A and B are shown apart, each in its own frame.
Chain A
Amino acid sequence: MRLAELQARMRQTLLDGGSPDPELLALIADPPLQRERRLAVYRNNVRHALLSALDTAFPVVRELIGTDCFTTAALVFIAQRPPRAPALFAYGGELPDFLADFAPLAELPWLADVARLEWARNDALFAADREPLSPNQLATVPVAELPGLRLELHPSAWLHKSPWPIHAIWDAHQPGGGALEAVDLARAEAVLVWRQGGAVRQRSPGPGESALLAAFALECPLAEAAETAAARDPNFDLSAVLARLLADGVLPRPT
């Protein structure tokens, strides 16, 4: 058998849960009774490596549905959407969409958005580095230029307006976090994820700050972004919000 065909057959047998391909077993030199068991070592290795990658990236989703249910769903995902690149830190980005369409979990409509939040945290850990903008640097911008200033978000930043309270659900699974029973599942919530000083952080910004950040992400000038924010929240305080964003390192120094 040509090597390319052998490798295609191995792929099928290693990712598929069924009994191994008899033609593949026939290629193995070890005694016939041992062949399936020997091939199973590789199948276990592949599953273990890919499951571990998903376990690491989605700990809260796993806690929410239980390890057994998570493993069942993850194995279906692995068989349907195995990695396309040899870098496991980047494997799992398609799991949220998969969970959204996974019928057995349909009664947990917020689960996919919790998974999106966890993936954003994974992305934030590995995103490109950028120096944060300091208040002093911002202070050097001439006042006349401030309205037209276009501020960016740090490469690690992710802003998501969810119809579900995903920040509160996530927080309830952290040491010292809130109680899951106290979370009002009917409440929509925006979440901001970013990396500061090597650590991934997250919080739930208010409607004005969310609108401001969304406008920054669209490269709107500062005056326009502030107007959008004020329209969403009559009490929006631009200087207080900017001060906090600068202190948190959410805004990078312009390149």
Chain B
Amino acid sequence: MSPARDRATVPAQAGIGLRHPHLPAFLAEPQPAAWLEIHSENYLAPGGPRRAALERLRGDYPLSCHGVGLSLGSAEGLDETHLARLRALYDRLEPELISEHLAWSTTPDGTFLADLLPLPYTGEALDIVTANVGRAQEALGRRLLVENPSTYLRFQEADWDEADFLSELARRTGCGLLLDVNNLYVSAANGGDDPLAALERLPLAAVGELHVAGHARVATPVGELLIDDHGSTVAEPVWTLLRAVLARTGPRPVLVEWDTNIPELPVLLAEATRAEFHLREARDAAG
């Protein structure tokens, strides 16, 4: 068992995304991860060994629950059944943080497309997302962190850019920001922008958590696209961008995500050690 800890917060240290192949290692002995994050939708089943494993581990690690299916950008509002299931899970686990994405996955006819799809950053979309975030925070009884997505296209119709859209969303709803540094890098590269310029306009005071992950570079007949596949080590320019973020925000909880081609646990923990190194730099700089 780890020493007694403050249950109210996730520490400004490096955590890792808990994935099924690593459950046995965590159940066998304590692992050097300061905190864990799960995908909420993987634990909505009524029972079974995975849920039991999570409930055992929950006592030993601070926990963040990261939703990948609430679809905050759905034009027709949120799925109330899904909200109720999430509420029941969160009431049972009492996570220190919960988060969702600035994206949509559920269509007006109720089809779930299993991807984080892009929104046009229009006034209409901002009103919709504002209402949905408000409803989610009310139904879940908790403050939500909203994550900037990785995007592969942009819509012509746009009253805001993404950074300003997120600032306005945070101002209207009181939600926090889960700043995914890899997504910031990927979206800027795919859109031909400078990620540092976007960073300057994001609501950095609202940042409650940071993500880093690996991406893939894919050559296409119309040029290179970066794909946010969470399938490799974090790219060097993303570590550089993380240092720039931490220099502005100060130390925040940093999560290493790895979802495809999942490696042995030590490889993932080594990435967390690298994140911890940059967090120490930020702590030292902050004095």
Interface of A with B (CB < 8 Å)?
Answer: 1-4, 6-8, 10-11, 14-15, 27-31, 33-35, 37-39, 41-42, 45-46, 49-50, 53, 82-90, 125-129, 155, 195, 198-199
B28-57 with Cβ < 8 A to chain A: 41-42, 44-50, 52
Residue from the list A8, A28, A50, A155 in contact with B109, Cβ < 8 A: A8
In order of increasing CB-CB distance, the 6 nearest A-B pairs are: A86-B69, A126-B45, A198-B49, A129-B47, A4-B75, A49-B114
CB distance from B163 to the nearest CB of A (A): 16
Known contacts A27-B156, A34-B222, A88-B41; 5 further A-B pairs (Cβ under 8 A)? A3-B75, A14-B115, A29-B153, A85-B82, A126-B46
Question: Are the CB atoms of A127 and B46 closer together than 8 Å?
Answer: yes
Q: Which residues of A contact B70 (CB under 8 A)?
A: 86
Q: State which of B3-11, B99-107, B177-185, B277-285 sits at the interface with chain A.
A: B99-107
Question: Are the CB atoms of A11 and B154 closer together than 8 Å?
Answer: no
The answer to whether the Cβ of B71 comes within 8 Å of any Cβ in the partner chain is yes
CA distance A29 to B158 in the complex (A): 10
CB distance from B116 to the nearest CB of A (A): 8
Question: Are the CB atoms of A84 and B110 closer together than 8 Å?
Answer: yes
CA distance A180 to B225 in the complex (A): 45
Q: Which residues of B contact A1 (CB under 8 A)?
A: 157
Question: Are the CB atoms of B153 and A39 closer together than 8 Å?
Answer: yes
CB distance from B134 to the nearest CB of A (A): 17
Could you say which of A37, A49, A84, A86 has the most chain B C-beta atoms within 10 Å of its C-beta?
A86
Could you say which of B79, B117, B220 has the most chain A C-beta atoms within 10 Å of its C-beta?
B117
Question: Are the CB atoms of B113 and A11 closer together than 8 Å?
Answer: yes
**Closest A residue by C-beta to B157:** A27
Q: Which residues of B contact A88 (CB under 8 A)?
A: 41, 114
B12-34 with Cβ < 8 A to chain A: none
Residue from the list B47, B50, B128, B223 in contact with A3, Cβ < 8 A: B128
Q: Which residues of B contact A37 (CB under 8 A)?
A: 220-222, 225
Question: Are the CB atoms of A84 and B111 closer together than 8 Å?
Answer: yes
B157-173 with Cβ < 8 A to chain A: 157-158
Tell me if A's interface is mostly helix, strand, loop or mixed: helix
Question: Are the CB atoms of A3 and B156 closer together than 8 Å?
Answer: no
Q: Which residues of A contact B52 (CB under 8 A)?
A: 129, 198
CA distance A88 to B223 in the complex (A): 33
Q: Which residues of B contact A90 (CB under 8 A)?
A: 45
CA distance A90 to B117 in the complex (A): 21
Question: Are the CB atoms of A11 and B75 closer together than 8 Å?
Answer: no
Question: Are the CB atoms of B105 and A86 closer together than 8 Å?
Answer: yes
CA distance A41 to B222 in the complex (A): 13
Q: Which residues of B contact A4 (CB under 8 A)?
A: 75-76, 108
Question: Are the CB atoms of A86 and B106 closer together than 8 Å?
Answer: yes
In the complex, 28 of the A-B residue pairs with CB atoms within 8 angstroms, ordered by the A residue number, are A2-B124, A3-B73, A3-B75, A3-B125, A6-B120, A7-B107, A7-B108, A10-B117, A14-B113, A27-B156, A29-B154, A29-B155, A29-B156, A29-B158, A38-B153, A41-B152, A42-B118, A46-B114, A84-B110, A86-B41, A86-B71, A86-B114, A88-B41, A88-B114, A89-B45, A126-B48, A128-B46, A129-B47
**Binary interface profile of B, 62-74, with partner A (CB < 8 Å = 1, else 0)?**
0000001111011
Residue from the list B75, B114, B223 in contact with A7, Cβ < 8 A: B75
Q: Which residues of A contact B46 (CB under 8 A)?
A: 126-129, 155
The answer to whether the Cβ of B81 comes within 8 Å of any Cβ in the partner chain is yes
CA distance A81 to B46 in the complex (A): 24
**Closest A residue by C-beta to B122:** A3
CB distance from B15 to the nearest CB of A (A): 23
Residue from the list B106, B115, B124 in contact with A42, Cβ < 8 A: B115
The answer to whether the Cβ of B227 comes within 8 Å of any Cβ in the partner chain is yes
